[in-house]
Amino acid sequence: MVDMLVLDNVNKEYKGTVVVNDLSLNIKKGEVFALLGANGAGKTTTIKMILGLTKASSGKIEIDNAAKIGYSPETPYFPEYLTAMEVMNYYAGVEGDKSKKDKSYLQSLLDMTGLSDTKIKVKNYSKGMIQRLALAQALISDPDILILDEPTAGLDALGRKHNLELLKRLKEQGKTIIINSHILHDIEAVCDRGVIMKKGKVIDTWTKDESSESLEDKFVRLVGEE
Amino acid sequence: MEITLNVIREKIRKKMLYVTTALGIIVVAVFSTDMGSLTVGGRSINDYHVLLPILINVLNFLNGAIALAISCSTIPLEYERRTSHLIWSRGISQGRYHMSLTVGNLVTSWISGIILYMTLGVFAVIKGYADILGKIAVAAVFMMLYAAIICMLTSALSIRIPTLFTGTIMVIILVFGAFRNALNLLTATLTGIGAVVIKRAIRLIPNLAGISTQAGNLVQEKPLNAHVIIMALLMIWIAGLLVMIVKREEA
């Protein structure tokens, strides 16, 4: 399989503190890859470096030339006075691709994420609905790589199930997905493999069905150790 | 374009804009009635031809304050809310992003300024001075220059400096710029090295008073000072350039 994203000895320092330490990853096309670790492990900084939201202090990040990236942040903010369709229309406009501003296309993305009623203003949205809207806007460019920061956080059981099914469908479409999540059951349900990070370093890798030990047990054993 | 339109939409929803515009309308109304007429040497001045330069000064200053208030927090708020993440991750450059936000603020402040000038026009007609409507319309161009300087400078500063400091610096620039003629008069009598430093420092402040004076000259059919207008345009260009090149290290 083709490498979609390669991180080669990537480091990130903030005022002398190493946040990401010598990180190397190869993420293949069509993979669903998990970034795991406790708070402060360097997962979000890694995502930010991949997205170009912050620069790596050293090392190389290579993204497949033609790859388009969609991003759903952990704590998304959308103007409260807009409806879901207006938010989608706004980001479609920011993309600069007129074909993506097509109302039926945007509606299909909202339907896909379970936000069919587009007349409700964002101010009346639950946290889960905002999370779904974040996912919908990430899909506007029909991205090859989808980066999702805590995509099921704040969702109720039904919402989580819906989003996980959606992620499986997106994987079937051949999208490469990178997920940062604390909900290990969700990771096990959709991801192919991942890395467990601690204090900016990869301390172990995880592959689906690799052993009888559950991801949760492995995570607690590795991250819980001091 | 989308980012700019979104800024305009968001700002128009803010109550602050309406309150300040209402205040401006009240100022025009008060000056336009006998209650607010100025008195010079015991003689009441309510001739609109004479009042107009004063009103232009007041309205430009007020609109400058509106431009400052709406520009001060726009860029920092984008980063605070992390809306910037969804823009940067779409490959939009910082320069384009910051300029789009700034233009949104600028257009909003122009809309507010045009409302103020339209009020001025309405009162002029009511008072029987419909003949000066054209002059008021042309004077509005100077309001646009005035607001552009404040808007661009505020936006450029706000990219890297905390909102409170940006606000404080810009209030000083706005007040000193609006009273630059008075400052020049005050410092004219000063001597020594300190005086030279103060005089040079004053020269760095945008000549907002000069811009309003040119608008006043225009309505009174006096000659315009091209130097003031060129310097204003240069200031806008420099501030615009700063908006494009000043960058944040991360979104």
Question: In B, which residues are within 8 Å of A93 by CB distance?
Answer: 1-2
| Residue among A52, A77, A91 minimizing CB distance to B88 | A52
CA distance to partner chain B, nearest, from residue A78 (Å): 8
Q: Where are the alpha helices (DSSP H) in chain A?
A: 43-51, 84-95, 103-112, 127-138, 157-172, 184-190, 215-223
Whether residues B85 and A51 touch (CB distance < 8 A) is answered with: yes
pLDDT band at B149 (very low <50, low <70, confident <90, very high): very high
pLDDT at B36: 55
Is the pLDDT score of A224 beyond 80? no
pLDDT at A95: 86
pLDDT at A154: 73
Q: Is B89 on the interface with A (CB under 8 A)?
A: yes
Bridge-based pairing of strands A193-198 and A3-14 is unpaired
Is the pLDDT score of A77 beyond 80? yes
Is the pLDDT score of B84 beyond 80? yes
Closest-approach residue (CA) in chain A for B13? A81
The interface residues of chain B toward chain A in range 92-111, judged by CB-CB distance below 8 A, are 92
Higher pLDDT, A116 or A111: A111
pLDDT at B193: 83
Is the pLDDT score of B99 beyond 90? yes
Is the pLDDT score of B251 beyond 80? no
DSSP secondary structure letters along A123-187: GG--HHHHHHHHHHHHTTT--SEEEEESTTTT--HHHHHHHHHHHHHHHHTT-EEEEE-S-HHHH
Strand partners, A70: A146
Residue of B12, B81, B86 to mutate, testing the A interface (most A Cβ within 10 Å of its Cβ): B86
pLDDT digits (tens, 9 = 90+) for A135-187: 999 999 999 999 999 888 777 888 788 888 888 989 988 899 999 988 888 88
Average pLDDT over residues A99-107: 87
Percent of chain B having pLDDT more than 90? 47
Whether residues B249 and A54 touch (CB distance < 8 A) is answered with: yes
pLDDT at B65: 92
Percent of chain B having pLDDT more than 70? 94
Bridge-based pairing of strands A201-207 and B38-40 is unpaired
Is the pLDDT score of A72 beyond 80? yes
Helix (H, G, I), strand (E, B) or coil at A17: strand
Residue B131: DSSP 8-state: G
pLDDT at B42: 64
pLDDT at B29: 79
Q: Where are the alpha helices (DSSP H) in chain B?
A: 2-12, 15-32, 48-72, 74-80, 83-88, 94-126, 133-158, 163-178, 180-188, 193-204, 208-219, 226-245
pLDDT at B37: 60
Report all structural domains of chain A as residue ranges with CATH numbers, in order of start.
3-223 (3.40.50.300)
Pairwise CA distance, residues B132 & B185, whole Å:
31
Is the pLDDT score of A27 beyond 70? yes
Mean model confidence pLDDT for chain A: 88
pLDDT digits (tens, 9 = 90+) for B2-46: 899 988 988 888 777 788 778 878 887 787 776 556 666 666 666
Mean model confidence pLDDT for chain B: 87
pLDDT at B38: 62
Is the pLDDT score of B89 beyond 80? yes
Higher pLDDT, B117 or A226: B117
Q: Is the pTM of this model over 0.95?
A: no
pLDDT at B45: 65
Q: Is B43 on the interface with A (CB under 8 A)?
A: no
pLDDT at A184: 84
pLDDT at B35: 56
Per-range mean pLDDT, top range of A5-19, B80-94, B147-161: B147-161
Whether residues B6 and A90 touch (CB distance < 8 A) is answered with: yes
pLDDT digits (tens, 9 = 90+) for B132-143: 888 889 889 999
| Residue among B2, B3, B82 minimizing CB distance to A77 | B82
Residue A74 burial (CB count, 10 A): 18
pLDDT at A138: 95
pLDDT at B39: 67
pLDDT at A101: 81
Average pLDDT over residues B190-198: 82
